[in-house]
Amino acid sequence: MMGPAHSLSGAAAWLGVGAAAAAADRAMPWPVLVVGALICAGAALAPDLDHKSATISRAFGPVSKALCEIVDKLSYAVYKATKKPGDPRRTGGHRTLTHTWLWAVMIGGGASALAVLGGRWAVLALLFIHMVLAVEGLLWRAARMSSDILVWLLGATSAWILAGVLDKPGNGSDWLFSAPGQEYLWLGLPILLGALVHDIGDALTVSGCPILWPIPVGRKRWYPIGPPKAIRFRAGSWVELKVLMPVFMLLGGVGGAAALNVI
């Protein structure tokens, strides 16, 4: 799928988690719901860091472009080293390593560890990165018409404000983990979820997605998981724009209302 649909699906997924948490009598404070939805919307763009034309590869200028080159080469090297006889030959690493459940777990776990071990500045860095990506994904028309510097300033300002809101007693920094020093351990959850939602979205397209790697399926280790080919669609097609994106908006609205006990 394209960036806007990925971001909408990420936000809707976290709002759905919020609804489930409320149903389980573990309701999220509203700042956790909002911040988690924005982080998840941003994180839902992250797996495409292996593609030079992707939103995330352009979002942070030369830094993300250079990182894209590294991730692409790393993904391709892992693909070549682990492929089975049934896996096709490739010339790049797009939709390989970063589009797997293992990668999602690694970046989610890494983000949680960074938030706990790195303190406030690490939390601010994670928020900044994902706020910028959320702006690029959810407000993509405005973001493309604006300069990168304005988007970065909006991301930095949002990160600073939201971190201050979360830090206030009862606002959710310790929503899930309350032990001293572990308050922001939950930050890895929307990042993990965003990556998985991205993979599921790509699995719906004609190319499928090797979510299960490194678990082999038949003669392939990079098996492109997806529904029957007859119901798959091309990225950017009318199915994505006219059907899926409105559905994500509707589901997000219902999930947010349920999470806040409005319905």
pLDDT in tens, the chain (263 residues): 787 899 999 999 999 999 999 999 888 899 999 999 999 999 999 999 998 888 898 889 999 999 999 999 999 999 999 999 999 998 888 899 999 999 999 999 999 999 999 988 999 999 999 999 999 988 876 767 778 888 899 999 999 999 999 888 877 777 887 777 788 889 999 999 999 999 999 999 888 999 999 999 989 999 999 888 888 888 777 888 888 889 999 999 999 999 888 76
Per-residue pLDDT, 236: 73
Rounded to 10 degrees, what is the CA torsion of 41, 67, 221, 103?
Answer: -40
Question: Do residues 210 and 222 lie in contact, with contact meaning Cβ atoms separated by under 8 Å?
Answer: yes
d(CA 183, CA 174): 4
Per-residue pLDDT, 263: 67
How many Cβ atoms sit within 10 Å of the Cβ of residue 263? 10
Token pair recorded at residue 163: 């971190």
- How far, in Å, are 172, 192, 211 from residue 184 at the CA level? 9, 14, 27
The end-to-end CA distance of the chain, in Å, is: 31
Spell out the residues 6+ positions from residue 82 whose beta carbon is closer than 8 angstroms to its own. Answer: 213, 214, 221, 222
- How far, in Å, are 59, 67, 138, 193, 194 from residue 124 at the CA level? 17, 20, 20, 20, 19
Q: What is the pTM of this model?
A: 0.93
Token pair recorded at residue 160: 């600073």
Per-residue pLDDT, 156: 94
Total residue count of the chain as it appears in this document: 263
